[in-house]
Chain A
């Protein structure tokens, strides 16, 4: 075989190998948490943090500074509450295996909106509330959780806050809701 043929063959082999590498790169074989945390970066809680979450028991009041909740796109806890940041904050929590997830039927939330706020809430990507809160009072909202929506292990409560904005007092954070507490109730 001539040197020309050898070079051409080796070049072809390398090219095919790079095509194979490209296919692998475009199709990562990873968990959904990995995908969302490392690749699409729409999740700010790492898989290790989620796995380390202490499980919650229905009935207990979880304050804004509870270590049983993993806050994604929320500000640091203040004295009484914690502000949401941006338009899509979320809270992750793990449900105790001994709890019958099917029997958890209500979510009670205490929060204060930054003036007028349209609020949508989703549990595990299913919408459970769409409402509008037009003043800055503290609201206690009871949300019905459809049967079968919660599961053992990690769950996500996501907020859609299209009216989140700068408060206009020099604070550079885009605020929507100040969360005081949340509580799941069994039927």
Chain B
């Protein structure tokens, strides 16, 4: 009990920030819905409908969707619909409402977990900036619409936090759930491997065993899903094979990047340049020797990119390592002039004191919130840029 009280006290500030950021996000969402004359039920669209089919009747035995009849819900990982199914059974919820509620709960938790993750990996990042980065960026919309993004961010933060604290079994367990959230979840195993390989030479036999056991836990969620699919419809890799129904056939990722950059349509161009920015951020992670985070993000970027640019923004901007780099950038103070001399120092006297320690985030977050509002409008109008 004492431990729980101590932990609660220790994290009360972070939790408070997470709740406030989350409430801000919900406020903007409510404004977007009201101003577009829509209700909350409209939030569950696109992939959420597929997850809804899993909650309602489980995984398909045969493909049936799309014009060619080759699409099935095997492509969608089980962690989110599993939790939503439990919720739907507990109360008077429809599957779609349950999915939206679950994604929102995990959105709140993921903001909290990201603050913890960011301040652990980059102690100079302000919890406020970290919270705002996780909860108010334009693609934060996916935390509210019955998608897996919020669950993915939450469990990836938990995994990386436990890994940093060298709680190997906990990291493995969080990784196991992560691998059942999205196909890229299992990539945490690579980050884990990099982290433990650096420790192996100095570790004792028991610690090595704990490391090995943690590593073996990571793919467990994915493996259980594969076994389930095999006994359900005969193909343990159906989640990958069925991607053909969405025209997502693996190819050279850089080919898609070049084609996107040269496209006449501004949307694929934007997605391509966002991906380039993400690759630059990954290079930065390598530079600061965060090899585990870098490898995780590199693979979690290149694998979806190898099947095209569609939906790249949500694959990018829910990756904890990339959001960490954004939070670090936005934590840069606007005017670092302490200790400077001459005309710059005189500027210090002319500007208010609060300005000197104000992070860049203060200027960027309002723009980001405007982007979030634009994304909501696009979502409610079913524009292709938000799939």
A interface residues (Cβ-Cβ under 8 A, vs B)? 3-4, 7-8, 10-11, 14-15, 17-18, 20-21, 24-25, 28-30, 34, 37-39, 41, 46-49, 51-52
The answer to whether the Cβ of B216 comes within 8 Å of any Cβ in the partner chain is: yes
On whether the beta carbons of B64 and A48 are closer than 8 Å, the reply is: yes
For A51, the chain B residues whose CB sits under 8 A away are 69
Other than A14-B216, A21-B226, give 17 A-B pairs with Cβ distance below 8 A.
A4-B206, A7-B213, A8-B209, A11-B212, A11-B213, A14-B213, A14-B220, A18-B223, A24-B226, A24-B227, A25-B236, A25-B237, A28-B234, A34-B235, A39-B241, A48-B62, A48-B63
- In the docked arrangement, what's the CA distance between A11 and B238, Å? 27
Task: Please give the distance in Å from A150's CB to the nearest CB on chain B.
Answer: 25
- 9 inter-chain pairs at a CB distance below 8 angstroms, sorted by A residue, are A7-B210, A14-B217, A18-B216, A29-B234, A46-B68, A48-B68, A48-B69, A48-B70, A49-B69
Binary interface encoding of chain B residues 155-174 relative to chain A, with 1 for a CB under 8 A from any of its CBs, else 0: 00000000000000000000
- The answer to whether A3 touches B234 (Cβ under 8 A) is no
**Chain B residues with CB under 8 A of A8:** 209
Q: From A20, A34, A38, A46, name the one whose CB has the most chain B CB atoms within 10 angstroms.
A: A38
Q: Tell me the chain B residues, 195-232 only, with Cβ under 8 Å from chain A.
A: 205-206, 209-210, 212-213, 216-217, 219-220, 223, 226-227, 230
B: residues with CB less than 8 A from A are 62-64, 68-70, 205-206, 209-210, 212-213, 216-217, 219-220, 223, 226-227, 230, 233-238, 241-242, 244, 249
A55 to chain B, nearest CB (A): 18
Number of contacts between A and B (CB, 8 Å)? 82
Given contacts A7-B210, A47-B63, A48-B64, contact A28 B70 (CB under 8 A): no
Main secondary structure on B side of the interface with A: helix
Distance A152 CA – B315 CA, assembled complex (angstroms): 47
CB contact under 8 A between A49 and B68, given known A7-B210, A28-B235, A38-B241:
yes
Would you give the shortest CB distance from B234 to chain A, in whole angstroms?
4
The answer to whether B238 touches A38, judged by C-beta atoms less than 8 angstroms apart, is: yes
Residue of A whose beta carbon sits closest to that of B244: A38
Chain A residue numbers with a CB within 8 Å of B233 are 30
- Determine the distance from Cα of A3 to Cα of B219 in the docked complex, in whole angstroms: 22
Could you tell me the distance between the alpha carbons of A17 and B176 in the complex, rounded to whole angstroms?
14
Q: Among the interface residues B209, B217, B226, which one has the most CB atoms of the partner chain A within 10 A? A: B209
Main secondary structure of the interface of A (DSSP, over half): helix
Write the nearest CB–CB distance from B64 to chain A, whole angstroms.
7
In the complex the two chains form, what is the Cα distance from A65 to B348 in whole Å? 77
Name the residue on B nearest A14 (C-beta).
B216
| Contact assessment for A37 and B70 in the assembled complex, using a CB-CB cutoff below 8 Å | yes
Q: Which residues of B contact A21 (CB under 8 A)?
A: 223, 226-227, 236
Q: Quick check: A11 and B223 within 8 Å, CB to CB?
A: no
Q: How far is the CB of A67 from chain B (nearest CB, A)?
A: 13
User: Is there an interface contact between A7 and B237, defined as CB atoms closer than 8 Å?
Assistant: no
Residues of B contacting A52 in the complex (Cβ-Cβ under 8 angstroms): 69
**Min CB distance, B381 to chain A, in Å?**
30
**Nearest residue, chain B, Cβ from A7:** B209
Residues on A with C-beta less than 8 A from B209 are 4, 7-8, 11
Q: Chain A contacts of B213 at CB under 8 A?
A: 7, 10-11, 14
For B69, the chain A residues whose CB sits under 8 A away are 46-49, 51-52
CB <8 Å contact, B244 and A37: yes
CA distance A11 to B220 in the complex (A): 12
Given the interface pairs A24-B227, A24-B230, A38-B241, the reply to whether A3 lies near B206 with Cβ below 8 Å is: yes
Question: Nearest residue in A to B226 (C-beta to C-beta)?
Answer: A21
Residues of chain A lying within 8 A (CB to CB) of residue B236: 21, 24-25, 28
Q: Specify the chain A residue showing the minimal Cβ separation from B245.
A: A46
- Kindly state the separation between the CA atoms of A41 and B251 in the bound complex, as whole angstroms: 14
A8-B68 Cα distance, complex, nearest whole Å: 49
**Closest residue on chain B to residue A45 by CB atoms:** B68
Q: How far is the CA of A39 from the CA of B219 in the complex (A)?
A: 22
Complex Cα distance, B210 from A25, in Å, reads 28
